[in-house]
A and B are shown apart, each in its own frame.
Chain A
Amino acid sequence: MRRSVVRFAVALFLAGSFPSLSRAQTYEVDAMHTSVHFRVSHLGLSWTFGRFNDLSGAFRIDPADAGKCAFQMTIKTESIDTGNTKRDDHLRSPDFFNVKQFPLLSFKSTAVEAVKEGYAVTGDLTLHGTTKAVKFVLAGGRKAEFPKGIRRTGYTTELVLKRSDFEMDKMKDAIGDDVHITISFEGIEKAR
């Protein structure tokens, strides 16, 4: 009995001293309310827009300590969709994403800092079999409950990547090197 009381007191002390331990929330990415869009220049004349339709991910938010936040997302490159069958097949080929060789595009954060807009996230992006560090700012973080009992939060970011940094360097004269990406995602809080 006495041992239980001591344990309870220690637990209470820890919870009070490190509130972040008890306040971190883990979310699973809600694919239905998440989109990864990109645009890339065609001959410098127009933008071609596209998206990825099959993705998954999870993230952890600790409002008290941004360093304990973490984000990861995985996208199936096969699910690329620019609205045209032939172009999508070409983008899946070894000329671009090489989906039979590199079926996944993934991101995993390595450091998160709190900034005015939300979080500045640094992490490893693996694309076309090459891993590079990228940094972007995630804006958002508002919370909602929809439907009732399902707690959600969401973030949005925009970044520009050079595809040649990932050895995706074919046809650079026709298709721009800079790829403008917009990611907007929602997560559903996991039951503790």
Chain B
Amino acid sequence: MSDPILFARAFAAGVVTAAFVAWLLRWPWSVPHRRRTSLGYLLGMASATVVACRLLMVRPHWPPRVDQDRFLFVVLPSLFCVELAATLPMRPLLVWSLRFLLAGAAAPILLYGSVYVADSAGPGTRKWMPFQAVLVFFVLELALFIVWRLLAKLQQQTQSQVVPLAVALSCLGAAATVALSGYASIAGIGIALAAAVTGCTLAARMPRSSPHLDAVISLSAVGLFALVVVGHYFGNLTLGHAVALLVSPLLGWLPEWLPLQRLGSMGRGVSRLVLTTVPIAVVLALAYQQFVRDSARFAPSSRNEPSLQDYLDFGK
């Protein structure tokens, strides 16, 4: 599972699949059409996720009982339905209302039946009282919705393919950090998501393509959110690292606010990627240091047990 060549192969297969399906379904020999293009992106991302997950041996179970199953079988299909609905002629307010609903449902779906919300270890053992759960889920909904909205706005404003690439980078960083913090198999989903987003972004660079990458931004934002949420609540990803990873692609707004006009669109695109990379690199370095420290540490319950030397010195 932790084979870098396998990771690279799965990532490449995902990128090629997403790019090919997205390119094919937007009907490249006819006039570009926004709805058809969005449908192509959605199907491209779905097929890329399936291909990369299969190569990485991510095998979800049905019925979905754990976080990864629920993400792949419930959250992602719901997102695809919302984004499919978004391709229909409807007011943006209605589209964003659907997205807000999905943002609210994502965390409860991921944490369903866990010790946080269910008495799975016996009566009265849930960690969150009902009002606490509502509060936590509301904060998580707001966090996802704000990140999602800001990324979509940045993409809309800049019409730049760098924005989804930056989120794909954050997904890869989140996958690696969560894996280092003790939940290794999530790396497969992170790589699959990053490949799907990268592939569709490449398809958008092909001639006569549409720059409307709303669906790609949606998948990357919800995917990144899911990675940090399961990493924090099911693994050992710290809250600080989770927040830093979630907001890292938002640093792409800085070149819009700072006086960087003379850099040109290319320069600002590169600076967006660099700015996103900085917090990811810091978080990864810290997670790696913690990984090395913990790997060399005895478990607390074993720490006070006598060493071999203690036995040899017995009675001296």
Contact = CB atoms under 8 A, between A and B. Distances in A.
B258 interface: no
Interface residues on A, range: 20 to 34
Interface stretch (B29-37, B75-83, B108-116, B164-172): B108-116
Contact of B182 (A82, A83, A90, A129): A90
Interface string B258-301: 00000000000000000000000000000000010011011111
A192 to B, nearest CB: 27
Q: Do most interface residues of chain B lie in helix, strand or loop, or is the interface mixed?
A: loop
Contacts of B297: 84-86
Nearest to B3: A173
B291 to A, nearest CB: 7
Contacts of B230: 94
B61 interface: yes
A104 B120 CA distance: 8
A82 B299 contact: yes
B184 A101 contact: no
A53 B301 contact: yes
Contacts, number: 88
B234 A98 contact: yes
Contacts of A171: 1, 184-185
A65 interface: no
Contacts of A86: 182, 291, 294-295, 297
Contact of A94 (B1, B235, B302): B235
A13 B271 CA distance: 93
A102 interface: yes
A152 interface: no
Nearest to A89: B182
A101 B114 contact: yes
A100 B116 CA distance: 8
Contact of A93 (B113, B183, B291, B298): B183
A108 interface: no
A101 B233 CA distance: 10
A169 B60 CA distance: 10
B24 interface: no
Given A94-B234, A95-B185, A81 B114 contact: no
A100 B230 CA distance: 10
Given A82-B299, A89-B182, A101 B121 contact: no
A95 B121 contact: no
Given A89-B236, A95-B183, A173-B1, A103 B121 contact: yes
Contacts of A101: 65-67, 113-115, 120, 234
A87 B301 CA distance: 14
B155 to A, nearest CB: 32
A39 to B, nearest CB: 16
Interface in B172-226: 181-186
B299 A84 contact: yes
B59 interface: yes
Contacts of B295: 84-87
B97 interface: no
B248 interface: no
A94 B233 CA distance: 10
Contacts of B233: 100
A174 interface: yes
A76 interface: yes
Contacts of B132: none
Nearest to B1: A171
Given A86-B297, A93-B182, 6 more contacts: A83-B298, A84-B297, A86-B182, A89-B182, A101-B115, A173-B1
Interface of B: 1, 59, 61, 65-68, 113-116, 120-122, 125, 181-186, 230, 233-236, 291, 294-295, 297-302
